[in-house]
Amino acid sequence: MARAFSELARSVASTEAAPLPTLPELYDNAADRVCRRCALISTCWGRDALTTHDAFNETATALQSKGHVVPQDFPPYFASRCVNLAPLCGAINDGWSEFLRARAARRREEESKKLMHEQYHSMCEVLSGVAAREQNAESDAALAARVRRVVRAYTPHAASTVYLDRGRMVIEVSVAGEEPPLVDPDAFLQSLSLSLGRSFGAPEEIRTGQGQTMRLRERERFAVNICSAVRKKHADDVCGDSSLRFCTDDGRAVIMLSDGMGTGAHAGEAASNALALIERFVRSGCSLTDSARAVVPALAARFASIGFVTLDLLEIDLFSGEAHLLKYGAAPSFAVRHGKVQRYCSVALPAGVGEPPEPAMLRLGDGDTLVLLSDGVCDGTDCEPAEALCATRDLSPQALASALLELNGSSKNSDDMSVLVVSISALSIA
């Protein structure tokens, strides 16, 4: 977790803000607004272009000291021939006001970034100290007592140890001497799974200094299969959507879909960077909800350079089937069970805009399906066609993903399109 905070601090500190306009650019914009339709444009910006530039430059001191210019600030040789001097002053003053606002916003942004960098850096140091003192294993007395009863039923003189390693239950059954800890491991596994309501992998046999130990590690009760279909915007080289899926060591499946502002490479980079930051927190042990809330302030600080992103975040506990769905401005999602469809819509704005959303809680089981979409497929204004497809029970997950992509009926789509179909299946007990 400390490493994730350190990465966030570096991300905030390395953000490059868009450059502020220069004074020559400000004058050029004002002249473009006022002079391009003037009858004297060929004179002022053709034959006398050098003296026109000099006249503009002579107003710089007045503009910077007073914050505005008036016709009297121009030299007489220019003021006497310009027929649009008042509108020109107005355009210059408008540009200067925009510059002042942008500069003030830049200063506020820099102060905010500095504060966030300091906060993340401090949290990194605190968490590093906590991690050094934290124990990797924890025990549960009630579960240990239940395990002992099962162990004694098979091997009365065996000792048992129970602890949690990164969220997984680990059971060690030990005996002194050369005899095996369990005469019938398969029957023991079956009894243990029924008693605890948990599933375990194949036992590991370990020789110790005192005798023999058999170690059993809890395994997930569910597995996920993810099918995807992606189509970039017509004529773009790169898709502006990004997805990421992985399983953690503590038995969570994490599926994320992000849509960057606009389309193409810039949007895709913003979306993938957001997911990569969240991934670091999740892999360090944070929940997906907490990870998103830690990262979103960093995304907000980078709006000026990367734009906003939407986030569709799904976390599934593969031991229990409990799932959390978190939506930051994302397109509707659909949960399907036995052909019945439940729609989940975003009630929050994109990441960093407004208050963070609360996750939707789901209890998933064998055969359930979750469908995540980008707004190029379904923006929430007409969900019925997508819902009808999701309810079709004779489509395979990949066929469903492809069919959802074809809803618009044209390959010349005006937005990036992404579909993720997440299928849940139960693993056998024991």
122 — pLDDT class (breaks 50, 70, 90): very low
pLDDT at 379 over 80: no
Q: In sequence order, what are the residues at sequence separation of 6 or more whose Cβ sits closer than 8 angstroms to the Cβ of residue 374?
A: 241, 257, 259, 310, 330, 331, 415, 416, 417, 418, 419
pLDDT of residue 135: 42
CB 382 within 8 A of CB 336: no
Same domain, 392 and 262: yes
Instruction: Return the top range by mean pLDDT from 117-131, 307-321, 372-386.
Output: 307-321
Assign residue 163 the CATH number of its domain: 3.30.1360
pLDDT of residue 384: 86
363 — pLDDT class (breaks 50, 70, 90): very high
Assign residue 406 the CATH number of its domain: 3.60.40.10
Same domain, 293 and 347: yes
Same domain, 34 and 127: yes
| Residue 340 CB burial class (10 angstroms; 0-12, 13-18, ≥19) | exposed
pLDDT at 352 over 80: no
**3 state DSSP class of 381:** coil
pLDDT of residue 412: 53
284 — pLDDT class (breaks 50, 70, 90): confident
Domain with 235, as residue range(s), is 222-426
Same domain, 211 and 228: no
Same domain, 80 and 179: no
Higher pLDDT, residue 268 or 189:
189
pLDDT at 366 over 80: yes
Q: Which of 182, 217, 252 is the last residue of a domain?
A: 217
Higher pLDDT, residue 260 or 399:
399
pLDDT at 263 over 80: no
pLDDT of residue 240: 73
Same domain, 263 and 342: yes
What are the tokens at 119?
A: 């906060």
List the one residue out of 84, 20, 97, 93 whose CA is nearest residue 52.
84
Same domain, 146 and 21: no
CB 416 within 8 A of CB 259: yes
What are the tokens at 148?
A: 């002992």
Higher pLDDT, residue 144 or 124:
144
Same domain, 274 and 179: no
Residue pLDDT, tens place only, 271-283: 778 888 889 888 8
Residues 428 and 421: their CA atoms lie apart, in Å, by 23
Same domain, 416 and 276: yes
Same domain, 44 and 12: yes
Residues 286 and 277: their CA atoms lie apart, in Å, by 12
CB 258 within 8 A of CB 271: yes
Same domain, 154 and 118: no
Domain count, the chain: 3
For the chain, the average pLDDT equals 80
Instruction: Return the top range by mean pLDDT from 31-35, 63-67, 137-141.
Output: 31-35
Q: How many helices (H) and strands (E) does the chain have?
A: 14, 16
Q: Which of 106, 131, 156 is the last residue of a domain?
A: 131
Q: Which of 166, 193, 217 is the last residue of a domain?
A: 217
pLDDT at 313 over 90: yes
Same domain, 209 and 308: no
Average pLDDT estimate for 183-192: 87
Measure the CA angle with vertex 346, ends 341 and 351; round to 5°. Answer: 145
